[in-house]
């Protein structure tokens, strides 16, 4: 169960992360890529924030995630500047791809009969626990 403080910090981070990441993507030559922060979970001790990203189009998601992960210190610093009046300590950031939309899309295709997982069970990826 998340405390109100965890939720509040997650909310603050989520808001500012979108700006920071979108800015980093456009300046890094990834124009036309839409990054949204679908969820932020902060650990109980407030030391780590797990950030779940939806990236569209999905094709460049993996390389963009690598880029974001390798720029973690800069992103964390930029965030700390923006949130210095709200947060005393900036949590460590961990980035993940939120594949739930893609997963839902696959289920919808299956339901429409476009791909029948009963005939081809390998169509549905095993859902990764995060």
DSSP track, 50-115: EEEEEEESGGGHHHHHHHHHHTHHHHHHHHHHHHTTT-SSPPEEEEEE--HHHHHHHHHHHHTTSS
Q: Whole-model pTM above 0.85?
A: no
Place of tokens 């990441």: 21
Which two tokens mark 119?
């005939």
pLDDT tens digit sequence for 39-64: 999 999 999 999 999 888 777 788 88
**99 has pLDDT over 90:** no
Q: Which domains does the chain have, with CATH numbers?
A: 4-98 (3.30.300.20), 100-130 (no CATH)
């Amino acid at each position: 169960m998340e405390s109100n403080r965890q939720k509040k910090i997650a909310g603050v981070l989520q808001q500012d992360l979108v700006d920071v990441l979108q800015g980093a993507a456009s300046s890094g030559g990834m124009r036309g890529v839409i990054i949204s922060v679908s969820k932020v979970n902060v650990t109980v001790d407030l030391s780590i924030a797990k950030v779940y990203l939806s990236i569209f189009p999905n094709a460049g998601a993996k390389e963009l995630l690598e880029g974001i992960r390798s720029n973690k210190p800069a992103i964390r610093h930029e965030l700390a500047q923006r949130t210095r009046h709200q947060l005393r300590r900036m949590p460590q950031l961990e980035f993940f791809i939120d594949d739930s939309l893609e997963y839902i899309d696959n289920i919808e295709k299956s339901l429409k009969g476009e791909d029948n997982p009963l005939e081809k069970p390998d169509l549905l990826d095993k859902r990764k626990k995060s």
